């Protein structure tokens, strides 16, 4: 559900205008200077297209079913997550209390360039609460504090923040102040506080997307391209991956909660 952000270990301070100074760059690179933009209405098309491209490019980091390109189902799930994010962005501002919000990190040298994004849902009946849906940083700009800065911006308005991620992403978010609360299927549930909010969030229903004409067409194309047997094997591979992630989430959650 959550993309691979930077490692969360960079140090620095976010200024009032969103510019970030003092991050520790990757070897051979220089620190990024960026401005954070917090949107409650749909972003301009040029920025939206970059966000959607990042969703496609970093599918394996973002998806709760992180298939690899070698799996024939990869293209289908890639389309679904892209369309899901498209729907979130399209609906921004339609329900001011519950529709998605977007934090963008824009390159100071080229403000038309998106370096990272954080898409989240506020809780209409708990003003302090929100749920991070997806977050990603351009691979060329990771480990420079961008993810941390975007999540800090989100938490300025909604300090009671929740997210779900696969087990190997947990240390990243622990370094940014999130706590393990439990497991749900292949994902670990995390929160900035020791308990979840009682508020609700307007999560996108994926069933209509999977049942859409476009997804059926993609599936038919993949069957023609790979064959029925290969598609059945792809589904089994997906199920084995989800079972493995579910076990990992359970083991990690039990180990973390045993500390408290």
Say what the pLDDT of residue 20 is: 38
pLDDT along the chain (260 residues), means of 10: 36 32 42 89 98 96 93 97 97 92 97 98 96 97 95 97 96 96 97 95 94 96 97 98 98 90
Say what the pLDDT of residue 16 is: 30
DSSP label at residue 138:
-
Q: Is the distance from CB of 252 to CB of 179 less than 8 angstroms?
A: no
Say what the pLDDT of residue 259 is: 73
Q: Domain 13-257 sits in which CATH superfamily?
A: Gcn5-related N-acetyltransferase (GNAT) (3.40.630.30)
Kindly state the tokens that stand for 64.
Answer: 């709760």
Say what the pLDDT of residue 112 is: 97
Say what the pLDDT of residue 129 is: 97
- Residues sharing a CB contact under 8 Å with residue 232, sequence separation 6 or more, in sequence order: none
Distance (Å, whole) CA 258 – CA 143: 30
Say what the pLDDT of residue 13 is: 28
Q: What are phi and psi of 227, to 5 degrees?
A: 95, 155
pTM listed for this prediction: 0.86
What region does 85 belong to: left with phi over 0, alpha with psi -120 to 50, or beta? alpha
156-175 b/e (C-beta count within 10 Å ≥ 16 → b): eebebbbbbbbbebbebbee
CA 91 to chain centre: 18
The string of DSSP letters for 224-243 reads HHH-HHHHHHHHHHHHHHHH
């Amino acid at each position: 559900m959550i993309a691979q952000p930077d490692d969360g270990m960079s140090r620095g301070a976010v200024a009032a205008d969103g510019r970030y100074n003092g991050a520790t760059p990757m070897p051979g690179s220089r620190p990024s200077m960026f401005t954070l933009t917090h949107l409650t209405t749909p972003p301009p098309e040029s920025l939206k297209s970059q966000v959607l491209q990042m969703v496609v490019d970093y599918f394996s980091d973002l998806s709760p079913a992180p298939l690899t390109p070698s799996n024939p189902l990869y293209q289908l799930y890639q389309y679904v997550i892209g369309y899901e994010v498209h729907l979130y962005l399209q609906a921004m501002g339609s329900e001011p209390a519950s529709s998605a919000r977007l934090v963008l990190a824009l390159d100071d040298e080229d403000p038309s360039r998106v370096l990272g994004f954080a898409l989240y849902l506020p809780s209409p009946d708990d003003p302090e609460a929100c749920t991070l849906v997806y977050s990603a940083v351009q691979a060329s700009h990771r480990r420079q504090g961008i993810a941390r800065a975007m999540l800090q911006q989100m938490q300025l308005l909604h300090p009671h923040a929740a997210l779900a991620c696969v087990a190997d992403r947990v240390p990243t978010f622990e370094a940014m102040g999130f706590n393990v609360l439990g497991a749900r299927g292949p994902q670990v549930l995390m929160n900035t506080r020791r308990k979840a909010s009682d508020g609700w969030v307007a999560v996108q229903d994926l069933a209509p997307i999977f049942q859409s004409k476009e997804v059926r067409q993609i599936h038919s194309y993949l069957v023609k391209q790979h064959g029925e047997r290969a598609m059945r094997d792809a589904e089994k591979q997906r199920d084995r991956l989800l079972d493995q992630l579910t076990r990992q989430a359970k083991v990690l959650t039990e180990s973390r909660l045993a500390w408290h």
